[in-house]
Structure 1
Amino acid sequence: MRDIDYSNYFWQDEALRLRAIRPEDWEDHYINRFDTPARRLLECAVELPPTVTEAKSFAEKFTDFSSNRLMFIIENLDGDNVGGINLNSIDERNGTFSIGIQIDRDHRGKGYGTRAVTILLKYAFFERRLNKFNNYVLEGNEASAAMLRKVGCVQEGVRRQVFFTNGRYYDSILFGLTKDEFVAFVSNTK
């Protein structure tokens, strides 16, 4: 295959690129399922032990963007897979959506999550004409809460004791961001 010129590519910034999932990405998905603390924060539960069959099925299912959950691989500009992100819960009628993200253990704390979410917010607001980003984090997930604040999200509330995991009930911390708030936030950070 010829080299690709990414200089005008929407799906990247100075540090990372979002790309479609490939069938061979199953192994990264499989390995990430062994990071129980991160998966608990993402899924609000302990998952059953990972299987190669499930990982291969996951990678195959999301390779062509045919689902209402748009799944991407996050890779740095060296081509290393650093995590995954998805646009989900898309409600075209009301203009709402959510984003799910997991950064691989070895790549956390480098700003990849904030950058990837920003790219996906630009797509949702400026290409899909969506108007409101709704999300939540599990109580205690300070890294994700800080990342949401970094992209301009506002804490909108708390749903008390809605997730049971690790022997107790946890709150769901609600965040939101409108298109107008995002535009103002981006303008103020330039």
Structure 2
Amino acid sequence: MREIDYTNYFWQDHNVRLRAIKEEDWEGCYISDFDTPARILLECAVELPPTQSGAKKFVEQNANFSSTNGRIMFTIENLNGESIGGINLNSIDERNGTFSIGIVIDKEYRGKGYGTSAMNILLKYAFLERRLHKFNDYVLEGNEGSARMMRKLGCVQEGVRREVAYVNGKYLDYILFGLTKDEFIEKRSEGSN
């Protein structure tokens, strides 16, 4: 296959590239499922031990944007083409223009700005291509990295849902964040100055 010129590719920035999940991504999914602390922050629960067949089934159900559960699933790559995590657009409410995003960055790639970059790409798509109006999300209490990322993206902390997740013998809060299309555009214009 010819080499791809990514110069004007919508789905990348200076840090990351988003692409469809491929069948061969199952191994990365399987390995990342052993990061229990990250999985708890993502799923708000302790999951059963990962299985290779479970990882293969997940990839099979979501490869090439084939998901039937309303999620648009992507693999996040660094610009060297290494898979470093996943991101998805979900909870899309076309009538009210609201949506959410789920993201996970593999342990060895966290804290390098990859998550913020991937979020910005997907927010740009949701707001400027899908014409959605409001991003709503929550961070599980104690997930300081994701809370920092939300603030960096310009999200406003809108509240706290107290003691709604039971994890490891404790009830934890959801910290609620939101971002409107206008706030996103304003934040982007500040960054270009």
Superposition TM-score, scaled by structure 1 size: 0.98
Letter in 2 for 1:149: R
Where do 1:1-190 residues align within 5 Å?
1-67=1-67, 68-190=70-192
| Deviations 1:20-66, CA, capped at 9 Å, x for gaps | 00000000000011000000000000000111111001111111323
| Partners of 2:95 and 2:82 in 1: CA distance | 37
| Deviations 1:99-125, CA, capped at 9 Å, x for gaps | 000000000010000000000000000
Letter in 2 for 1:89: S
Percent identity over the alignment is 71
Letter in 1 for 2:15: A
Classify the secondary structure of the residue corresponding to 2:157. strand
| Deviations 1:77-115, CA, capped at 9 Å, x for gaps | 111111111000011111100000000000001000000
| Partners of 2:118 and 2:94 in 1: CA distance | 22
After superposition, the CA RMSD in angstroms is: 0.7
| Partners of 1:99 and 1:11 in 2: CA distance | 16
Return 5+ residue gaps in structure 1 as ranges.
none
| Partners of 1:52 and 1:79 in 2: CA distance | 23
| Partners of 1:73 and 1:127 in 2: CA distance | 20
Instruction: Compute the displacement of 1:188 (Å).
Output: 1.2
Instruction: Compute the displacement of 1:189 (Å).
Output: 1.8
Letter in 1 for 2:48: L
Letter in 2 for 1:98: S
Return 5+ residue gaps in structure 2 as ranges.
none
